Amino acid sequence: MAEKFINVTLKIWRQKNAQDAGKMVDYPLKNVSTDSSFLEMLDVLNEELVAKGEEPVAFDHDCREGICGMCSLYINGEAHGPDRAVTTCQLHMRMFKDGETITIEPFRATAFPVIKDLIVDRDSFDRIMQKGGFVSVNTSGNTQDANALPIRKEDADNAFDAATCIGCGGCVATCKNASAMLFVSAKVAQFSLLPQGKVEAQERVKNMLHQMDVEGFGNCTNTGACEVECPKGISLDNIARFNREYMKAAVLGSE
Amino acid sequence: MSDTGLTKTSIGRKILMALSGGFLMFFLVMHVTINAISMFSPETFNTISHFMGTNMLIQIAMQPVLMLAVVFHLSMGVVLEMKNRKARTNKYAMNNGAANSSWMSRNMIVTGIMVLLFLLVHFVDFWIPEMVTKYANGDMTGLLPDGGMRYWEELHHKFANPVKVGIYVLAFVFLGLHLMHGFQSAFQSVGFRHKKYTPVIEKLGVLYAILIPLTFIVIAIFHFTTQQ
């Protein structure tokens, strides 16, 4: 597709700090290349703002290759914008029309408080991971060959699919209940499918679920919105598996 | 160790919602089947109604279980909705929910409350008079003063009023919308998801959500149009 240049009006959430009430501010932006990514478009806006002596818009980003999970943004009412299976850095301006008004907000959830403008604090995900998103097996010195343990191809594939979750929080941002079930379920499933992870399956599911609830995420109501908006296409299969793992732990668990 | 009790965790509460909803869906099948008989045979309808209304196992054991399921399902529904609202106190200026989910799945609380309001009307119409007749007045005969059975007559005459029929039809539409998401959601909540069976469950859910309310609607309209 040939490069075009479009004019857009950006409605951006501006918030000085966590205490500030914040508000939407309009920024007209001219001659935006349709080949630029959404974040590059914001870079251009920020250069203009800096040149005018104004405060640039703060937003999260890191790898800009769609693999780190750092970029966020709720664009025109959808996490990572209108495109499917992409992060915001992989969203391109060709998805927008000339003259369009684009609304840009931070991911909103009680468990994701705004730090500044479009940057939110996603440490709640880290605290959930610290409760069991790992395998406590000593791997230093005498690591076994991965192929020494036979694993069913389907299980290996499903575990790998779950492990592709980049922890961006798009599922939480999208969910009408701000539920973190897709994220936590992927982190539970990637281990519960594999023999190394099965050892601590019960403790993992109980502890991670408990932390998820403590952080103030909402309850899953199976709308399926998370799966649609997930940049990595994490499946609702993981949520069903998480539900099953919880039942196993709650019913058969020793405590 | 964390508390794993069903009522203490988010997943546990969802499982209880699914189980109570599942029980209510099972009850609906029975309810609609018995009511549908009223269109074909007033005698059979009377016989079954009299049995259901006077059998002590049903009255003392099953009826309270049903009540409990209804009260639990609706109060837990409200509790979960309030928790979910607390999980996002700062709303989006723009939210395009239609891009990723169905209206039914996003409005279970709305359709649920509409069904609850209908239930109040329904209880005033049928259940309270039934309780008064049987337990306050002690009339367990199921008979009218003229000697005939009362159940079919009572049902038939309730639907003489077009406004009442309208309310019932509207309520069944809301029930259908609620079930459209609820049926398949219940399976997902208890972890029943399978590449082969989930597509079948989704189709069954649509069929159930259309067939059950539609039959109720047909019954209401049948009685309205066959008034003497």
Given an 8 Å threshold on Cβ–Cβ distance, is A110 in contact with B89?
A: yes
B94, B108, B188 member nearest A77 (Cβ): B94
Given an 8 Å threshold on Cβ–Cβ distance, is B94 in contact with A209?
A: no
> Has residue B92 been placed in a domain?
no
On whether both A165 and A229 belong to a single domain, the answer is: yes
On whether both A134 and A34 belong to a single domain, the answer is: no
For B32-66, the pLDDT digits (tens) are: 999 999 999 999 999 999 999 999 999 999 999 99
Say whether residue B55 is in contact with chain A using an 8 A CB cutoff: no
Decide if pLDDT at A192 tops 90: yes
> Cα dihedral sign for B111, B113, B118, B122?
positive
On whether both A152 and A175 belong to a single domain, the answer is: yes
- Bridge partners (DSSP) listed for residue A10: A27, A102
Kindly report the CATH number assigned to the domain that includes residue B188: 1.20.1300.10
Q: Which is more confidently placed, A196 or A31?
A: A31
Q: Compute the average pLDDT of residues A61-71.
A: 96
Given an 8 Å threshold on Cβ–Cβ distance, is A243 in contact with B181?
A: no
Given an 8 Å threshold on Cβ–Cβ distance, is B93 in contact with A239?
A: no
On whether both A107 and A173 belong to a single domain, the answer is: no
> Cα dihedral sign for A58, A62, A63, A65?
negative
Given an 8 Å threshold on Cβ–Cβ distance, is A221 in contact with B10?
A: no
Residues in A touching B13 (Cβ below 8 Å): 219
Residue A148, pLDDT score? 87
Q: Which two tokens stand for residue A73?
A: 């943004």
Residue A212, pLDDT score? 98
Residue A2, pLDDT score? 86
Decide if pLDDT at A132 tops 60: yes
- Classify the phi-psi angles of A53: left when phi > 0, otherwise alpha if psi is within -120 to 50, otherwise beta: left
Residue A206, pLDDT score? 95
On whether both A198 and A86 belong to a single domain, the answer is: no
Q: Which is more confidently placed, A142 or B209?
A: B209
Q: Compute the average pLDDT of residues A148-171.
A: 96
Say whether residue B196 is in contact with chain A using an 8 A CB cutoff: no
Say whether residue B162 is in contact with chain A using an 8 A CB cutoff: no
pLDDT band at A252 (very low <50, low <70, confident <90, very high): confident
Closest CA–CA distance from residue A35 to any residue of chain B (Å): 24
Q: Which is more confidently placed, A88 or A144?
A: A88
pLDDT band at A173 (very low <50, low <70, confident <90, very high): very high
Name residues whose C-beta falls within 8 Å of residue B26's C-beta, 6 or more positions apart in sequence: none
Q: How many domains does chain B have?
A: 1
Q: Compute the average pLDDT of residues A187-213.
A: 95
d(CA A118, CA A13): 7
Kindly report the CATH number assigned to the domain that includes residue A151: 1.10.1060.10
For A89-126, the pLDDT digits (tens) are: 999 999 999 999 999 999 999 999 999 999 999 999 99
Decide if pLDDT at A150 tops 60: yes
On whether both A106 and A30 belong to a single domain, the answer is: yes
Q: Which of residues 149-168 of A touch B (CB under 8 A)?
A: none
Contact B167, B117 (CB under 8 A): no
On whether both A49 and A158 belong to a single domain, the answer is: no
A222, A237, A255 member nearest B1 (Cβ): A255
pLDDT band at B1 (very low <50, low <70, confident <90, very high): very low
On whether both A112 and A128 belong to a single domain, the answer is: no
For B121-169, the pLDDT digits (tens) are: 999 999 999 999 999 999 999 999 988 999 999 999 999 999 999 999 9
d(CA A175, CA A169): 10
Kindly report the CATH number assigned to the domain that includes residue A93: 3.10.20.30
- Bridge partners (DSSP) listed for residue A102: A10
On whether both A76 and A187 belong to a single domain, the answer is: no
Say whether residue A17 is in contact with chain B using an 8 A CB cutoff: no
On whether both A225 and A247 belong to a single domain, the answer is: yes
CA Rg, chain B, in Å?
20
Decide if pLDDT at B99 tops 90: yes
Give me the domain span that covers residue B22. 10-85+103-225
Residue A125 identity: F
User: Pairing between strand A5-14 and A101-105?
Assistant: parallel
On whether both A110 and A156 belong to a single domain, the answer is: no
User: At A9, phi and psi to the nearest 5?
Assistant: -110, 125
Residues in A touching B93 (Cβ below 8 Å): 11, 13, 24, 103, 105
Residue B228, pLDDT score? 77
Residue B3, pLDDT score? 66
Name residues whose C-beta falls within 8 Å of residue A246's C-beta, 6 or more positions apart in sequence: A205, A206, A209, B4, B9, B11, B12
Q: How many domains does chain A have?
A: 2
For A8-35, the pLDDT digits (tens) are: 999 999 999 999 999 999 999 999 999 9
Q: Compute the average pLDDT of residues A58-79.
A: 97
Q: Which of B44, B109, B58, B120 is nearest to B83 (CA)?
A: B109
> Cα dihedral sign for B147, B48, B22, B180?
negative
User: Pairing between strand A5-14 and A114-116?
Assistant: unpaired
* Mean pLDDT of the residues in chain B: 96
pLDDT band at B5 (very low <50, low <70, confident <90, very high): confident
> Has residue B90 been placed in a domain?
no
On whether both A70 and A160 belong to a single domain, the answer is: no
Number of residues assigned to chain B: 228
For B194-206, the pLDDT digits (tens) are: 999 999 999 999 9
Give me the domain span that covers residue A93. 5-116
Interface probe for A, chosen from B4, B11, B187, B188 (most Cβ of A below 10 Å), is B11
Torsion of CA A67, A57, A101, A105, to 10 degrees: 60
A105, A174, A206 member nearest B4 (Cβ): A206
Q: Which of B61, B27, B56, B47 is nearest to B135 (CA)?
A: B56
Residue A253, pLDDT score? 79
Name residues whose C-beta falls within 8 Å of residue B96's C-beta, 6 or more positions apart in sequence: A76, A77, A78
3-state secondary structure chain A: CCCCEEEEEEEEEECCCCCCCCEEEEEEEEEEECCCEHHHHHHHHHHHHHHCCCCCCCCCCCCCCCCCCCCCCEECCEECCCCCCCCHHHCEHHHCCCCCEEEEECCCECCECEEECCEECCHHHHHHHHCCCCCCCCCCCCCCCHHHCCCCHHHHHHHHHHHCCCCCCHHHHHCCCCCCHHHHHHHHHHHHCCHHHHCCHHHHHHHHHHHHHHCCCCCCCCCCHHHHHCCCCCCCHHHHHHHHHHHHHHHHCCC
Percent of the residues in chain B that have a pLDDT greater than 90, as a whole number = 95
Closest CA–CA distance from residue B60 to any residue of chain A (Å): 30
Residue A255, pLDDT score? 63
Q: Compute the average pLDDT of residues A153-171.
A: 97
* Mean pLDDT of the residues in chain A: 95
Contact B185, B178 (CB under 8 A): no
Percent of the residues in chain A that have a pLDDT greater than 90, as a whole number = 90
